[in-house]
Structure 1
């Protein structure tokens, strides 16, 4: 019973995120007439949320309130802001709302984990079976947008129907906000995690290790290619005429689940360095496929590029979390995860979205974008990070 209730929570949590974030760039470009730089600003609100989230969790949630109650309050407030995004008609009113929303949403990612962990006897074995419902929620949101409502078809985008994704997510956020108050009580832990631990400051000593410092630098740099995918993949597919682009992009989440199962085998068989290198190589390969694919005879290249998301994300970011956990030891486990999350989803992605916005704006043409030029930039960048990492990182098997 508890597992089912937590599964519903996870489903709604990631249904909300996947229901508007994937198509954000397409909506802004076509309905708000936003520039590449402005779209980059909107996507970077995720990073600002990731940077601010530890202050909300470390200073408020962990000390004074039940996790499920603050989760409910944040999602109810998020429903109001999401409805505001649905009614926005220009960037000047849209941006403050999306910034406020992400500042409230990003802390909920840690809160749903806290609620889940506190109800489990063996989180190591049980959590994956709960968390997978979040990925399913993201997939269902994309399939609904493309195959149920067809909001991302060319005609629908021109008619402004993509705006309804925000209304759909406002309803889901309202539902999760109310549902959160029915979840098992998750009172604050005595003393809380502490802001210093949440920010990962206690784990800075890990950077004295040469190999970990190289990995840390590569993690921040590889976020630049990652930002290109989040920001540009959906607008790219929609602009070149791919049918049901949002639904097709759910191939990435499906592959993420499959490659997650293969990840332990790769780490054990080939070691952490080779696994990380495979992840970085996948980023370069996928963007080359995007650069030379098209909506007609080259559609298979695009689909393979989308399906590589599981390798790109799992083999670098998830294996990087495992590597961080291993290097940190018992004393700095939580702090180390806080540090790497802040560095990647905070600082790294903030830089990445800015770069992606500038590059995208540079390749604007009269009838759209020079997508080949746009995609070759992160492909070369990822390859450069791979070469530096290969020569500088001397990890053992």
Structure 2
């Protein structure tokens, strides 16, 4: 792949994930502080991203891939999305906000697949070339968090406007990307949602992994929707910026993955990842910004192990089990199940849990964070025990 193309695709990934990171991390804080939303409503807002994750494959597979150049669709979606993001920054109440965030996520989620598709179409060896391009997405997310946090605007509507400006820039930039013309092939419903991959469930171990993957997304949703409001409530300065330490950790552990995977195997890697999930939530339950600030930082830094050792290992395992025949279908199915079904359930569970462990004094709502964080810790523990007992690892080759 020519250096000029690599640079253009790296800029694409940086802007793609900057747009997402600018509003996603702090949305819960904004809803609670500015729109006076309760925890259930925060969970419902985050759940919209999961709804969009389940719907977007239909759009990309049945429409975008067949009739239009991917870079043109990407540009149109981001330009329209910029308008919706700005609208989100001025809507006065939660009900209007909920419908708009649903509309925006329906526009944004297809762009994830489209950005990947545009990149893959320019590569001769995606396995070697894509990681060095995709890492700029993580860089974009980190820059967004540092910017929002350093400006001290986490509880305001400004992150949505910053995201809108970036989305507009990316929309215009998309039309200059290398061409990715439509495939113009017949695509079936089975192709889109990965039904061909159901053959994997003939292996009982994969069924255990699949159930585990959906279940572990429930405690994951607690981190995404509640961590920023929690850290701000604890008095952490520049919480959004400091949460980017999780992405730095993710990049670091990604480099260690090949070394550790070959020595530990699938089961030990996943158990280690889930064990760190329990540790993270216990640290959050016990930590505070005065005497236990190190616990809060440790909980953030554990994100790299939590995410990489379970999700990346799971993607590798799925890729190996599927083989060439149903590889794409298998990845589509696991993404649909985790970021769609699992995160949808988790978003609502986190919202109802936070609402359950809250109290109101006048106009102020107090959240009992120690009790809230113990819930995902317990769920993670139950999932870990289920996986440890039922998944029989035939060493790392399987």
Given the two structures, how large is their TM-score scaled by the length of structure 2?
A: 0.96
Partner of 2:324: 330
Partner of 2:42: 39
Partner of 1:124: 127
User: Which residue among 131, 136, 141 is the counterpart of 1:133?
Assistant: 136
CA positional deviation for 1:190: 3.9
CA positional deviation for 1:14: 0.2
Partner of 1:66: 69
Is this contact kept in 2: 1:16–1:172, CA < 8 A?
A: yes
Structure 1 segment 318-397 matched on structure 2, within 5 A: 318-366=312-360, 368-397=366-395
CA positional deviation for 1:359: 0.2
Q: Partners in 2 of 1:218 and 1:19 — Cα distance?
A: 30
Q: What are the superposed Cα offsets for residues 264-305 of structure 1, whole Å, 9 maximum, x if unpaired?
A: 111100111000101111111000000000011201000010
User: Which residue among 2, 5, 10 is the counterpart of 1:2?
Assistant: 5
Partner of 1:261: 255
Is this contact kept in 1: 2:67–2:184, CA < 8 A?
A: no
Partner of 2:270: 276
Is this contact kept in 1: 2:62–2:192, CA < 8 A?
A: no
Is this contact kept in 1: 2:28–2:42, CA < 8 A?
A: yes
CA positional deviation for 1:192: 5.7
Partner of 1:17: 20
Determine whether 1:201 maps to 2:165.
Answer: no
Is this contact kept in 2: 1:41–1:354, CA < 8 A?
A: yes
Q: Partners in 2 of 1:201 and 1:7 — Cα distance?
A: 32
Is this contact kept in 1: 2:146–2:241, CA < 8 A?
A: yes
Q: Partners in 2 of 1:299 and 1:307 — Cα distance?
A: 13
Is this contact kept in 2: 1:58–1:192, CA < 8 A?
A: no
Partner of 2:298: 304
For structure 1, the residue ranges without an aligned partner over 5 or more in a row are: none
Q: Partners in 2 of 1:12 and 1:192 — Cα distance?
A: 32
CA positional deviation for 1:111: 0.4
Partner of 1:150: 152
Q: Partners in 2 of 1:323 and 1:45 — Cα distance?
A: 28
Partner of 2:211: 217
Is this contact kept in 2: 1:54–1:195, CA < 8 A?
A: no
Is this contact kept in 1: 2:48–2:105, CA < 8 A?
A: yes
Q: State the SS of the aligned residue for 1:233.
A: helix
Q: What are the superposed Cα offsets for residues 19-67 of structure 1, whole Å, 9 maximum, x if unpaired?
A: 0000000000011111111111100011011010011101111100000
Partner of 1:251: 245
Q: Partners in 2 of 1:326 and 1:84 — Cα distance?
A: 44
Is this contact kept in 2: 1:47–1:350, CA < 8 A?
A: yes
CA positional deviation for 1:89: 1.2
CA positional deviation for 1:194: 4.2
Q: Partners in 2 of 1:274 and 1:132 — Cα distance?
A: 26
Q: After TM superposition, what 4+ stretches of structure 1 lie above 3 angstroms from structure 2? A: 192-195
CA positional deviation for 1:124: 0.7
CA positional deviation for 1:100: 0.4
Q: State the SS of the aligned residue for 1:142.
A: helix
Q: Partners in 2 of 1:265 and 1:352 — Cα distance?
A: 32
CA positional deviation for 1:207: 1.3
Is this contact kept in 2: 1:85–1:98, CA < 8 A?
A: yes
Give the superposed CA RMSD. Answer: 0.9
Q: State the SS of the aligned residue for 1:365.
A: strand
Structure 1 segment 106-117 matched on structure 2, within 5 A: 106-117=109-120
Aligned pairs, how many? 388
Q: Partners in 2 of 1:131 and 1:303 — Cα distance?
A: 26
Partner of 1:83: 86
Q: Partners in 2 of 1:193 and 1:299 — Cα distance?
A: 52
Q: State the SS of the aligned residue for 1:20.
A: helix
User: Which residue among 100, 124, 128 is the counterpart of 1:97?
Assistant: 100
Determine whether 1:49 maps to 2:43.
Answer: no
